[in-house]
A and B are shown apart, each in its own frame.
Chain A
Amino acid sequence: MSLFEAKTPMPRIGFPSALITTLRLLLGALFIMSGGEKLLDLKYFALVIAEYQILPSLLIPAVALLVSLCELLCGTMLLLDLFSRIGASVMLCMMAIFIAAMANNLMRGLDHDCGCFEFLTQWYGLKEEIGVGPIVRDILFFILLLPIALLGSNRIPWKKHHRSNME
């Protein structure tokens, strides 16, 4: 029995596992879409990051790639329930960074796209500019990620299936 399997806190009383599963699936799908679209047009995302005027120009392409990959990877982890606590924890850190970056730009009076969910612009024509709205939304995501990070599972799902079959 591995260390991760020994500490599976999923069935804890007080927070229904169905709710955690729902949150995991919803947020996982959302982060996969968000990371995927960024990877598909990495140059555009890098230009949006440049507009935040926080990072040096040399780092921007690497950060754009890292953020996109992180979102895609963590989204997949959440969706498959594969070390979802780690995935949610990484996304929590990223949400905190996004909130801080947007708040910083808002205070400096900068006005530009937030680069959060570009597919909303493409599908629904919603323009995603930095402001109170996207900050509140990211705070909401932060709150929704917390139960997964604290009470979610830290295991490989198909290994568990194998074990149960053996038993």
Chain B
Amino acid sequence: MDALLALVIGVLTAAGVFLALRPRTFPVVLGLTFLSYAVNLFLFVMGRLAVGVPPIVSETASAYTDPLPQALVLTAIVISFGMTAFVIVLALKARAELGNDHVDGLEHETDRHA
């Protein structure tokens, strides 16, 4: 289970980094989304993996899982959701203002001198 989760986080991060380095805004936004998925998962498992135990005090529970990372990840999800929405709108605005979806606003290298 640990190895699987580590692998998932690693693959998500690698995909996110690769996509964030692409020259078009759409893959970049996707890359940022993948990175935020990876980090949310990472934060979540930082409280250690525990299956079937409650995070809050109960009379019947014999063990607990750490509730703090769950609170942290909730905050991080909300923030990354808002940021993703913002960056999508910004990318659309850049597409409209610059006439193309290249991150530098250049369709071809020769546009630099145009």
A is bound by B = no
Q: Which residues does B use to contact A, with CB under 8 Å?
A: none
Q: Which residues does A use to contact B, with CB under 8 Å?
A: none
